[in-house]
Each structure stands twice: as structure tokens, then as C-alpha cells.
Amino acid sequence: MSMTPQFWPVDDAHVGQRIDNFLLTRLKGLPKSHLYRIIRKGEVRVNKKRIKPDYRLQMGDTVRIPPLRLSVPSKTTPSLGAQQLLANRILYEDKNLLIINKPAGMAVHGGSGVSFGVIETLRQARPQEKFLELVHRLDRETSGCLLLAKKPSILKELHALLRDKQMEKVYWALVCGYWPKNLHCVDAPLEKFELRSGERMVNVRADGKLAVTEFKIIQRFADTTLVEARPLTGRTHQIRVHALHAGHPIIGDEKYGDKEVNKKFRASGCKRLFLHAVRLSFVLPSTGQKIVVETQLDVELQDCMEQLR
């Protein structure tokens, strides 16, 4: 345990990174719930000022960390099976970035009872990589295109693309019921909150943060609709909560879904959230290269579709 506060200057490699992500990668052994608590209480400060978890670091910032007791890091490492699983799901790679088809059920990073996520597993499998960071996140239950940066300068560029809405992210979701033909966009502000159990939830609230998702019908079935979702903002659980707000929760969603419908689909073999990031595209400013990556639905989702047809 450090008995005195620590002060960390921000260099160019971390400009544009969220303060919570910055701290998560450096305070190993600190539970995420504790991290967000000390941020909320103002014990973490930037330039002597209180900040929110989504504050993005700027050149010249100084981050103050209060005295903390960190648990002893586990000596165990991500399994070889997990490492091989991710190696087999690489969709695109070059010297600047890596895009994988994240499997459902694997968190993007450790925390909240999860020892290892995608980022820890990839770092363990690639000790030669001097830098490897998540550019964005996917919910643990969601599969599909996940982007990682292999250089600090590239991470900064990609974060700028996200902020400026210059990165296209496309998802497919199977939702309950008959999605209306004229419902092309859900514009509903979102707010995060915690249950007494500590579980993180999101709901629509008038004074929440701006959140916009575009929807398009792909195919209709008897009691469900396959839709394409394009989030124009990047809020936690955005597509899932917007689908619920529209009256058509996503199949297999244990947080926001219809329990009876989910039970029926589990019985027929679909035991996961039917949400998959199918496409990711952007132009990397420093090289002018256009990156377009697409991936098919996972096998269990394809099987579910075959049964519906």
C-alpha cells in the first residue's frame, strides 16, 4: 500500500485516453468498483480538480492518485486455450492495429470477478508487442469486431475518429416482435446506475447522456426481427437499451430482455445474447488507408437463424 498520494504526469502516448481506462491498466489489483468510487468521491484528481470517469486526458495533465491498498496480483496466467481461441479469431492485422472477432462470454478486460479478458490474454500471447490497447469495448455477452491499437500514436488517432464519429460500427441483432418499418432511429438519452448488488445497469432518462442508434430491418420472422444497428454514439449497453426502449428487446438479453422469450430460445439452443458486431470501417488519417472488416454471425447464431427460417 502506498502511504502517500502519487502524481502521474500525462505524456503524448496517453493524450485522449479516458481517465478510467488509464487507471485500470496501471492500478493492477484494484477492483473496478473501488476505482469508480474514488473517482466519484473526488479522491482521484487531474490538475487538482475533480473529474468524471469519461474525462479524456490532455497533454500536460497531472493525475493525483490517493493512497491505495492493491491486492497481490495473481500468479496464474490466461490459459493456452484462451490464447489459441483468440489467435484463431483474428480478422485483420498490420503493424498498427489488430481486429479480432471477440467470442461471446469473454470480457474485453479483467475486473468485476473476471481474472482475464481479451486484452490480458492477447498481451500474454504476444510478449513481443511493446504496446497493445483496446480502442473501444464490447459487452461481455456481445461477439464480433473488436479493435486494438499497437502504437500509442495509432490509439490517439482511433480515439479521435470515434470522438468525431468517423468510424462506422455495424451490429446485427435479433429482437422480439415485429420491428416497425418506419422506426429508423432511436434518439434517447441514457444514464448509468448501479443496483444494490453492484450490477451496472442503464436506462433511458431525459437528463442522461446523448445516445442515438440507427436501425434497419434485415429480415422478419414469425415473432422476431433481424435488424441492423448502427450506434452513432458509444454509450454503455446502448443498442440493448434502445431496442428495449423501442419495445423490442434483444433475444437472449439477460439484463434487459423478455424472460419468457429468452427461456423459449434457450430451449431451442440459443443460449446467448443475439448481438454481433458484423462490420467495422474507417480511414486511418496517418496512412490514408481505408480499413473495412466484416465477419459472419457466430455458429450458434447462424444455427438459431436456420431454425427460424
Which pLDDT belongs to residue 2? 47
pLDDT, tens digit (0-9, with 9 covering 90-100), for 254-301: 999 999 999 999 988 889 999 999 999 999 999 999 999 999 999 999
Which pLDDT belongs to residue 275? 98
Pairing of strands 143-149, 275-284: parallel
Average pLDDT, integer, range 146-162: 91
Q: What is the distance between the alpha carbons of residues 221 and 179, in angstroms, rounded to a whole number? A: 10
Cβ-contact 227, 179 below 8 angstroms: yes
Residue 3 has pLDDT above 70, yes or no: no
Which pLDDT belongs to residue 115? 67
Cβ-contact 124, 74 below 8 angstroms: no
Neighbouring C-alpha atoms within 13 Å toward the C-beta of 138: 31
Which pLDDT belongs to residue 76? 63
Q: What is the distance between the alpha carbons of residues 244 and 230, in angstroms, rounded to a whole number? A: 15
Which pLDDT belongs to residue 131? 87
Which pLDDT belongs to residue 282? 98
| Cell output for 305 | 437463424
Q: Which amino acid is at 26?
A: R
Mean pLDDT of the chain: 89
| The model's pTM | 0.77
Q: Which amino acid is at 24?
A: L
CB atoms under 10 Å from CB of 74, counted, come to 11
Which pLDDT belongs to residue 111? 62
Which pLDDT belongs to residue 1? 46
Which pLDDT belongs to residue 77? 74
Structural domains in the chain?
6-65 (3.10.290.10), 80-163 (3.30.2350.10), 168-308 (3.30.2350.10)
Q: Which amino acid is at 265?
A: F
- C-alpha dihedral over 140, 196, 239, 149, to 10 degrees? -40
Residue 8 has pLDDT above 90, yes or no: no
Confidence band for 70, pLDDT divided at 50, 70 and 90: low
- C-alpha dihedral over 173, 53, 57, 149, to 10 degrees? -30
Residue 97 has pLDDT above 80, yes or no: yes
Q: What is the distance between the alpha carbons of residues 20 and 155, in angstroms, rounded to a whole number? A: 16
Whole-number percent of the chain with pLDDT over 90: 60
Cβ density class 82-105: b for 16+ within 10 Å, e for less: bbeebeebebeeeebbbbbbbbbe
Q: What is the distance between the alpha carbons of residues 240 and 256, in angstroms, rounded to a whole number? A: 7
Average pLDDT, integer, range 215-223: 95
Sheet strand arrangement including 62-65? 6-9, 62-65, 45-46, 49-50
Average pLDDT, integer, range 195-224: 91
Residue of 61, 139, 253, 298 with catalytic role: 139
Q: What is the largest CA-CA distance in the chain?
A: 63
Pairing of strands 168-176, 224-231: antiparallel
- Among this protein's residues, is 298 annotated catalytic? no
Higher pLDDT, residue 30 or 94: 94
Residue 28 phi/psi, 5-degree rounding, is: -60, 135
Average pLDDT, integer, range 156-185: 94
Average pLDDT, integer, range 225-243: 95
Confidence band for 69, pLDDT divided at 50, 70 and 90: low
